[in-house]
Chain A
C-alpha cells in the first residue's frame, strides 16, 4: 500500500550515541558561514539607478582602485543569513533575562513604531530649527519627565550612554569646582562600584580613592568621613547600590560630602527600583545619569545604542554641556555655542557629541513613560522590587544571600552554598543556559565571592518567576548532590559548547582573512 503523505506516527527513540548529521545542522539549529565565505564582491542585493551618461568626476587621482574586499549577497540570501544568525541569540523576547545591573525588561513595539515616524526618524540634526519644532518639543518634554521623576532642576540630554553620562556629570563637577577656584584631585568610589565609575574619574583627570563597604554591603559612613578632605572633588556612588541595597545613610552621606565642599555623583543604573518612590533630588544628589535603555526600555540592541541623560542640581546646572534646548514664548531653539549659552546664563563645560543626543532613544523612552504614566512608573518600580524579593525569599534557604534584605530590584547571592561541591558560579550560569534561561550577572559586584546578581525586572509574571525558582532549586540540589558533570561541561544543549576565551585573547583573530578561509575549508575536509 502506498503510505506516502500519510500522517506519521512517532517511534520512541533517542539519537544513537555519536550520531552526527552530514550538514552539521541539527534540525532547527542551522550552521551559518561568514559573509566572506558565501558572498562575492560582484554580488549585490540592491538595485540602484544607472549612472547618468554624462557623469563627470572630480575625484582626480584620489580614485579608489584597490579591491576593497566587501562581499555582497542578494536580498534573499541576506535575509536568510541574518535570520539564521539571529536564531543563535537568546533575548528578552525568548525568556527570562535576569542579568543584574542591566534591567532587561520588556521592550514594547509601540516605542519602535513611534521612533520610526518620519517626523522623528527622517529629520537632520542641522535642519533649520523652524522645521524641527516638534523634535525640540519632544526633547523638552522628555527632559520634563526626567526632572519630575528625579526631583532635579536640570538635565543634560546629549550623553550617548551611561558611561558617557558619567563623564558628563564629572566634567560638570570639575567645571563647577574650577569656577569656584577650588580645584580638587580625588574622587571617592565605593569598592562595589561599576568599573565605569573609576574609569570615568580617571578620564576627568582625577585620582581614584576606594572606600570599603560595611558588613551589611553598604558604604561605610565612618570610613567615608575619614577619607573626606579639601582635596576631594566628589563621591561617585550607586544607589540603590550594586549589591541590590538602598544606601540607608544616603542623606548623611550627602551631607558629609557637601560639608567637605565636594559634590555627589550618583550612578543611576538602578533607578528602576525607585522611580516614583523616591526622588534622588530629595536625597542630596548633585548629578545622576539615567540609562534610558535600562529604566525606560529603549532596547538593549545586543549592546547599544544606549542613552544617558544626566540630571543636575542647581549648583551644577549652569555647567551643562552644549547643545541644549531653550524655550522662548513657546518657540524652541538650540543653544549650540558658548555665546548663545552664556546669553542664557550658562557656563557650559564643552560638547560631548556631534549633535543633540540619542533622539531615537528619546522617542522610545518618552513613549514608554507616557504609556506608564505616573501611576504605572511607581507600579513598575514596586513590581521590580517585589519580584527580586520574591526570588530572594524563595531561594535564600538553599543559596547564600550575601546580605540581609529586603533587597531592592536585584537579589545578590554568593558562592558559599557551593563550597563543598566542585561547581563554580560560572558552571551554575552555564547550566542555566541548558535550562533555557539567560544566566544572572556573575562575578559582579566584586565585594562578594563568586557573585550571582539576579534582576528579574517588573516584566516577569509570577508564573515565570515560579518556574525560574523551581529550576534554580533543582540545579542547586543537583550541585549539592554531586551531579558535577551537569555543570562543568555545560552548556550541553546550547548551539555552542563552552568557548575558549583564553585562546581568543592570547592570539587575537579580530577579522576574517582570505588565509583563514583556506585553512577553515581545509579543516572541514
Chain B
C-alpha cells in the first residue's frame, strides 16, 4: 500500500523490540470475540489511477455550475476564485499543519488568523472577529447562544425572511437549552415589524440582510428599538460580497454579525466546507465562541501571535465553556483571507458593483417577460420573481433546457403555498451577457 512505509522485515524487527510474537498481541485488550478475523466486506486496495477513474465517473454525473448558465444562490454563491488562492492553500505548510498549539513553529497560520480577524472586523463594521466557525448557519446558532449569555435572557425573535435552514439550525441548537423562540412567516415584499415583538425579556432579534429573497433593508431603526429593550441585534449575511457595496451591519447598529464567508475564496463544494464569520463589539469579547488569535511578543521582544482567551474554551472550561466548538475552518479562512488580500478594498468594491449591475440588468430583463413580476425592490445580487406558473415546473423546464435558473422558494418553504410561484435568482461576476440572453429566451419559451 503506497502510503505505508514499513516492509515486512521492519514490522518483524519492531515486534521483536516490543517483545510481541505477532501484531494481535498488541490488541490483547480487545475482547477476543470482538476482534475481527476476516477482512471487512469492502473492496481491496486500489491504485491511484483506479481511484481516479472511479471518482471521476461519479463527478461526471453532476452538472458543474461552470458548464451552464448558472443562477443559484440562497446561501452559497458562485464567484471566481483566483488561481493564486488555490495554489497557496495547497502549500504543505498550511495544508498539513494543525491548530497552532506551538506558536513558535506556527507563526504562518497565526499571522494569517490575525489578518483574517482584522479583515472580518473591518468588513462587518465591528470591533473584533474570531478565527472562524464551521459555516454561516452554525455561527448564527452560536450567536443566539452568546446573546443569551450576554443578556441573561432566553427569548429570541427570528425574522421570517431568515434563510429557513439557518432558522432550523438555530432552533435545533436551542432545543434543549431552555431558549424560547418567536417565529415569523416569510413575507417577500412586506417589511415585517420585528421591533414590535421585542420586549424586556428578549435576548436578541435575528435578521438577515440581504434576506433570503434578496431584499435589502435599513436595520438602523430596528437596532434602536432592540437596544431600547436591552436586547442585542444579530445580523446574518449569507452573501459576504454584498459588504463591499452595502452599508455594514456594524454601521446599522448590529451587536453580533455572522456571515457565510464562502463567497470569498471558496468554491461551492456542494455545501461545504465553508467558513463562518463571527464579529462583535469589543465589550462582548469574553463571551465569544470559537478560537481567537492575539498579538503578543516573544522572549526577545519580537512581535508574534498566539491563540488567546482560551479560558472561554472547552479544553479548559469543559462543561462551562462558551461553546463546544474545537476546530475552526482554518484552511477556508486562509482562502478567504488570501482572496480578500488580492481584491483589496478597491477590488472588493468593484466586484460588488459588477455583481449588482448584472443582477439589476437581469431582473429588469426578466420582469419584462409577460406575467413575470419582480418582487424585490431593493437588492444586491439576488432577487425574487413571481411567475405566472408554479416555480417548480418552471425551474425543471429551465433545467431541461440546460439553465440552472435559481431556487424555487417552495423548496425552502415547503407547505407554504404563498411560495409556490416564487423563484430566487442570483447573479455574480461569472455570469455573461450571453447567459442573461439565454435565460430570457428560455423563460419566454417556458412561460409561453
Contacts and interface: CB of A to CB of B under 8 A. Distances in A.
26 contacts: A41-B345, A46-B82, A57-B356, A68-B243, A68-B349, A87-B108, A106-B3, A107-B95, A126-B76, A162-B326, A167-B324, A195-B313, A195-B318, A203-B173, A322-B168, A339-B415, A354-B169, A359-B272, A370-B55, A377-B40, A462-B5, A495-B107, A499-B297, A511-B127, A511-B128, A520-B303
Given A55-B361, A354-B137, 15 more contacts: A56-B360, A62-B378, A86-B94, A89-B93, A120-B62, A121-B268, A122-B66, A161-B325, A300-B98, A354-B163, A366-B55, A371-B46, A373-B43, A386-B14, A511-B127
A424 B260 CA distance: 43
Interface string A307-320: 10000000000000
A305 to B, nearest CB: 3
Contacts of B379: 58
A300 B44 contact: no
Given A162-B327, A406-B29, A119 B58 contact: yes
Contact of A302 (B178, B251, B334): B334
A357 interface: yes
A153 B260 CA distance: 33
B197 interface: no
B246 A304 contact: no
Interface string A353-393: 11111111101001101111111111110110111011011
A417 B318 CA distance: 29
A39 B341 contact: yes
Contacts of B36: 276-279, 378
A443 B247 CA distance: 46
Contacts of A71: 341, 344-345
A321 B168 CA distance: 11
Looking at A45, A361, A460, A491, the one whose CB has the most chain B CB atoms below 10 A away is A45
A137 B60 CA distance: 12
A370 B330 contact: no
Nearest to B122: A69
B270 A70 contact: no
Contacts of B415: 339
Interface stretch (A28-36, A222-230, A471-479): A28-36
Interface string B87-108: 1111111111111111111111
A274 interface: yes
Looking at B96, B100, B305, B323, the one whose CB has the most chain A CB atoms below 10 A away is B96
Contacts of A206: 176
A93 interface: yes
A7 interface: no
Given A45-B84, A71-B341, A300-B96, A196 B314 contact: yes
Given A495-B104, A508-B294, A277 B272 contact: no
A163 interface: yes
Contacts of B20: 389, 406
Interface string B69-83: 010101110100010
Interface string B260-293: 1000000111111111000000000100000111
Q: How large is the interface on B (under 10, 10 to 19, 20 to 34, 35 or more residues)?
A: 35 or more
Interface in B107-159: 107-109, 111-112, 114-115, 117-119, 121-123, 125, 127-129, 131-132, 134-138
Contacts of A39: 341, 344
A447 interface: no
A160 B290 CA distance: 14
A353 B2 contact: no
A304 B327 contact: yes
A68 B343 contact: no
A449 interface: no
B58 A500 contact: no
Nearest to A110: B48
A515 B102 CA distance: 28
A355 B165 contact: yes
A394 B72 contact: no
**Top-3 shortest CB links A-B:** A72-B344, A355-B271, A119-B59
Contacts of A108: 3
Interface in B312-364: 313-321, 323-332, 334, 338, 340-351, 353-354, 356-357, 360-361, 364
Interface in A61-83: 61-73, 75, 78-79, 81-83
A330 interface: no
A121 B247 CA distance: 31
Interface in A281-298: 282-283
Interface string A72-105: 1101001101110111111111100101001010
Contacts of B324: 163, 166-167, 196, 199-200, 202-203
A427 B52 CA distance: 45
A509 interface: yes
A354 B268 contact: no
Given A72-B347, A354-B163, A355-B272, A88 B40 contact: no
Nearest to B55: A114
A303 interface: yes
B64 interface: yes
A112 B39 contact: no
A250 interface: yes
Given A351-B168, A462-B6, A64 B243 contact: yes
Looking at A202, A208, A462, A511, the one whose CB has the most chain B CB atoms below 10 A away is A511
A261 interface: no
A481 interface: no
Contacts of B248: 64, 66, 68
A327 interface: no
A34 B115 contact: yes
A498 interface: yes
A268 B275 CA distance: 24
B43 A161 contact: no
A328 interface: no
A500 B65 CA distance: 48
A66 B315 CA distance: 40
B244 interface: yes
A25 interface: no
B448 interface: no
B225 interface: no
Given A352-B169, A433-B105, A499-B104, A304 B311 contact: no
Nearest to B342: A45
B127 to A, nearest CB: 8
A369 B45 CA distance: 8
Interface in A330-345: 336-337, 339-340
B43 to A, nearest CB: 5
A181 interface: no
A73 B344 contact: yes
A8 interface: no
Contact of A339 (B251, B268, B348, B414): B414
A461 interface: yes
Nearest to A381: B27
Contacts of B348: 68, 70
Contacts of A135: 58, 62, 270
A68 B26 CA distance: 59
A207 to B, nearest CB: 8
Contact of B102 (A90, A94, A352, A503): A90
A27 interface: no
A116 B55 CA distance: 11
A291 to B, nearest CB: 9
A350 B175 contact: yes
Given A110-B48, A251-B31, A305 B84 contact: no
Contact of A371 (B10, B48, B99, B321): B48
A495 B171 CA distance: 46
B401 interface: no
A117 B56 contact: yes
Interface string B233-261: 00000000001111110010000000010
Contacts of B136: 354
Contact of A118 (B26, B59, B75, B330): B59
Looking at B299, B323, B324, the one whose CB has the most chain A CB atoms below 10 A away is B324
